[in-house]
A and B are shown apart, each in its own frame.
Chain A
Amino acid sequence: MSIRLAAEGSGGFHSPGPADFEFPALFGHGTFFTKPMLIIVLGSLAVAVLFYLAARRASVVPGKGQFAGESVYGFVRNSIALDAIGHEGLKYVPYLATLFSFIAVLNLSGIIPVLQFPATSRIAIPLFLAIISWGIYNAIGIKRQGLVGYFKNMMFPPGIPWPVYILLAPIELFSTFFVRPITLALRLTFNMFAGHLVLLLFVLGGEFLVFDKGGVVGILAGSVSLVGSIVLTFFEGFVQLLQAYVFTLLTALYIGGALADEH
C-alpha cells in the first residue's frame, strides 16, 4: 500500500493526496490490469460465491452459512425494500440485495489487510451503479405511468396553485433527472475517497513521525497517530457499511417514488 520510496530521506513529509489513488499496471507495463480492477474482480467473485454457497442445500433449519446469507438478504428485503417501497418492492429485492452486497464488499476492501484500497473510491463503479439505478427507476416510472404521464406527474405534482409550476417544474425535472444519479455516485465515491485519505494520513504521518523524525516528541506523537489509525479503521468500516446501506436505501426510495401514482 505504501507509495513512499524506501530511499527517501528525511526530506520532509510526503502528504497523501489524490496521486495515491493511481495504480500501476500489475502484470507488465503494456497491460491495463491494475490493483483496483483486481479488487473489483475478486469482490464480484466473492459476492457470487458466498451467496451461492449460502443457498446450496437450503434446509428449513439453517446452518451457519445459510443463516448468514439469509440475514443479509432478509435485511435488504425487510428493512430496505418492504419499508421503502412496500409490498410491490419484493420484485426488486434481487437487484437491491446484489447492489448492497457488491457495494459493501467493494467498500470493505478498503480495510481488508492485503488489499487496503476501497475500489469504490474511483468514480467508475459508483457512476455505473448510479446510472443503472437511474435507468431502473426511470424505466419503472415510464412503464407504470406512461412516458408523458411520468414527466407530467414529476414536474407538475397536483394540488399546487399554477403560478408556482413555472418555478417548480424545471427544478423538479433537474432534481429527479440529473441531481439524483450524480449525488448517488458522488456521495459514495467521495466518502470512500475521504476515508481512505484520512487513513493514509494517519498511518503515513505516524510512520514519518516515529521513524524519520525520531526523538521523544516524534515517537510519542507518532504512536498517538498510529493508535488513532487503528480506531479510524474501525470507524471507516462502519462508514463503509453505512454508505452501502444508504445507496441501496435511496435506490429503493427512488423506485418507490416512481411506482407511486399521483397521490
Chain B
Amino acid sequence: MNGNVNMVGYGLAAIGPGIGIGLIFAAYISGVARQPESRGMLQSIAILGFALAEALAIIGIGLAFAL
C-alpha cells in the first residue's frame, strides 16, 4: 500500500474538529429555532466558533503536507 502515514494522521485528526463543528452548528440551529430574532447575534458567535474549531483540522492538513 503506497501512500503516506501523514495522511492517516490527518484522517484521525479530522475526527475531533468534525464533531466540534457539528456541535457548534447544532447549538446555533437550536438557538435560532427557539428564538428566530436572535439569528443575527448568534451568527457571528457561530462563525467565530466554527473558525476556531476548523483551525485544528486545517493545521492538520497543512502539517500533513509540510512535514
Binding site for B on A (CB under 8 A): 17-18, 79, 83, 183, 186-187, 189-191, 193-194, 197, 242-243, 245-246, 249-250, 253
Contacts and interface: CB of A to CB of B under 8 A. Distances in A.
Interface string B35-67: 000000000100110010011001101100110
B62 A186 contact: yes
A189 B59 CA distance: 9
Contacts of B61: 190, 194
Given A79-B44, A249-B44, A194 B51 contact: no
Given A187-B55, A190-B59, 17 more contacts: A17-B65, A83-B44, A183-B55, A183-B59, A186-B58, A187-B59, A190-B62, A191-B58, A193-B62, A193-B65, A194-B58, A194-B61, A194-B62, A197-B65, A243-B51, A246-B51, A250-B51
A194 B62 CA distance: 7
A189 B48 contact: no
B59 A186 contact: yes
A191 B60 CA distance: 11
Nearest to A190: B62
Size category of the binding interface on chain B: 10 to 19
A42 to B, nearest CB: 25
Interface of B: 44, 47-48, 51, 54-55, 58-59, 61-62, 65-66
Main secondary structure of the interface of A (DSSP, over half): helix
A242 B47 CA distance: 9
Nearest to A182: B59
A190 B58 contact: yes
B62 A245 contact: no
A100 to B, nearest CB: 14
Contact of A186 (B47, B51, B55, B65): B55
Contacts of A197: 65
Nearest to A83: B44
Contacts of A83: 44
Chain A CB within 10 A, most for which of B48, B58, B59, B61: B58
Contact of B51 (A18, A193, A242): A242
Nearest to A197: B65
A187 B55 CA distance: 5
Contacts of B44: 79, 83, 249
